[in-house]
Amino acid sequence: MSARTQRVKHRVRLLQLLAAADRAALAPISIDKLHAFAYLADILSPVWNLRPFEDRIGRTGRAPYYPDLQRELDFMVAMGLVLPSDISYVRKEGQPAVLTAHFALPNDSATVKSIRSACGNDAELAAQQTYLNALADALASLPDDDISAAATHDLVYEKSSNESQDFIDLASLSSRTSRAVASFDKAFPGTKLTPARRLVMYAHYLGHRVHA
Partner 1 sequence: MLDSDEFGAKLLQDPSFVAGAAEGLAASNVDEDPILSFFDRVRYTTLKSLDKAAAAGAGAVGGAPAILVLSERPQADAKAIDVNAHRLVDIDLKDPADWQGKLVICASHATAGWWIELPEGSVDQALELLNAHGLGHSPLAIVYPAARALSCFQDGGMSDEPPIKLDLPLNSRQVTLNDIFEVLEDVRKNSLLTPMIGPPKFWNDGPAYVPGEEAERQIQWIAAAQLRSNFRPLIVDTEQVTPVGRIDIVMTNTAGTGAAQQYPAIIELKALKSKTHAANKVPDSTNVKAILKGIRQAKAYRETKGANLGVMASFDMRATKTDILNEELCKLAVAKYITDERIAVYNFYVYGDTAHAQDEAAAA
Closer Cβ to partner 1, 117 or 174, answer by number: 174
C-beta separation of 118 from 52 below 8 A: no
**CB 3 to partner 1: min, Å:** 33
State which H helix or E strand residue 58 sits in.
strand 56-58
**CB 7 to partner 1: min, Å:** 27
Nearest CA-CA partner of 34 in 52, 61, 11, 14: 14
C-beta separation of 51 from 171 below 8 A: yes
Closer Cβ to partner 1, 24 or 76, answer by number: 24
Q: Which residues contact 121 (CB under 8 A, 6 or more apart)?
A: none
Paired strand residues for 85: 102
> Quick one: DSSP state of residue 171?
T
Closer Cβ to partner 1, 13 or 116, answer by number: 116
Closer Cβ to partner 1, 3 or 110, answer by number: 110
Contacts with partner 1 by CB under 8 A lie at 22-27, 104, 107, 137-138, 140-141, 143-144, 174, 176, 179-180, 182-184, 186-188, 190-192, 194, 196-197, 200-209, 212
d(CA 183, CA 76): 40
Closer Cβ to partner 1, 30 or 65, answer by number: 30
**Phi and psi of 167, rounded to 5°?**
-140, 165
Question: Which amino acid belongs to residue 185?
Answer: D
**CB 143 to partner 1: min, Å:** 6
**CB 166 to partner 1: min, Å:** 17
**CB 4 to partner 1: min, Å:** 31
